[in-house]
Structure 1
Amino acid sequence: MSDMISEYLADKDEKWHQPFLKLYQTIDEHIPNGFAFQLQYGMPSYVVPLSTFPDGYHCEKDTPLPFLSIAAQKRHIAVYHMGIYADDDLLSWFEAEYPKHMSTKLNMGKSCIRFTNPKKIPYELLGELASKVTVEGWINRYTTSIR
């Protein structure tokens, strides 16, 4: 386990430690090359580094472009995936695939997918979701539709 993950989990409820670690490992194994792993907005995150996209995030020019973050909250584990917020086709794919992996109702906001039961997290599906957008694809989507 990386020092960043250990430090992040230090003040989190023990029930979230193993599921969070498994989620991190799953995403890390599947995310396309080019995304950088760092702490962003207080969460372990995958971002487009400024060396790849010097324009940065429109809200904060000196901030790497966010893509995917994971968080252990008080009542749930969250995956913040900017791609499902920006790409209707990706969102539709995820919403159609979710019931094939889980019997629980999908609990999500615009970019946030929440899991309140640490034993019911579709790791395989989340790994596949993480793999679906490349750095180049995310930059293109961001520059054409988010801005």
Structure 2
Amino acid sequence: MKLKADSVEDYIAKVPEDKRPGIIKLREIIRKNIPQGFTETLSYGMIGYVVPHSIYPSGYHTNPKLPLPFLNIAAQKNFIALYHMGLYANPDLLKWFKTEYAKLPLNKLDMGKSCIRFKSPAKIPFDLIGVLVSKMSVQEWIDLYENQMR
């Protein structure tokens, strides 16, 4: 589901009511825990957290006019999605996340390469997401990204 929005607030206003509380809470947790330097914006039709051009002028390799993406949250048709590029690029971080998630009394982890899917806002492990978001600084993400691009 792609929502046509002009701002993050507009995006949230257009999220279906059953998913809106989950998106709002995820946004709060991310904003509270994301390291300094990442900027919140609309990115790829979702709420995004990026490395701005003021910090990383090269931008994203597929379109240098865009800032370097790091994290997105979105209301999809059947789930809420958290896209964390660091999970895709850092096997140790991915292993940590899977191990910590398995300790929780939740459903089986529903995950793609960088996408974590939550079918119910009530099943989002907000505290774990807060810790996950805090684990990678802007510079660590830039270094990891550049190493992956070599």
Q: TM-score range by the shorter chain?
A: over 0.9
CA distance in 2, matches of 1:32, 1:94: 18
TM-score, normalisation: structure 2? 0.92
Gaps of 5+ in 2: 1-5
3-state SS of the aligned residue for 2:59?
coil
3-state SS of the aligned residue for 1:10?
helix
Q: Identify which of 37, 41, 46 aligns with 2:40.
A: 37
Q: Judge conservation of contact 1:102–1:122 (CA < 8 Å) in 2.
A: no
The residue number in structure 2 matching 1:52 is: 55
Shift of 1:117: 1.2
TM-score, normalisation: structure 1? 0.94
**Residue deviations 1:69-101 (CA, integer Å, cap 9, x gap):** 000111100000000000000000000000222
CA distance in 2, matches of 1:7, 1:135: 26
The residue number in structure 1 matching 2:110 is: 107
Q: Judge conservation of contact 1:77–1:114 (CA < 8 Å) in 2.
A: yes
Q: Judge conservation of contact 1:55–1:61 (CA < 8 Å) in 2.
A: yes
CA distance in 1, matches of 2:78, 2:149: 30
Instruction: State the percentage of identical aligned residues.
Output: 51
Pairwise CA RMSD: 1.3
Matches within 5 A, 1:74-113: 74-113=77-116
Q: Judge conservation of contact 1:43–1:69 (CA < 8 Å) in 2.
A: yes
Gaps of 5+ in 1: none
Residue 120 of structure 2 corresponds to residue 117 of structure 1: yes
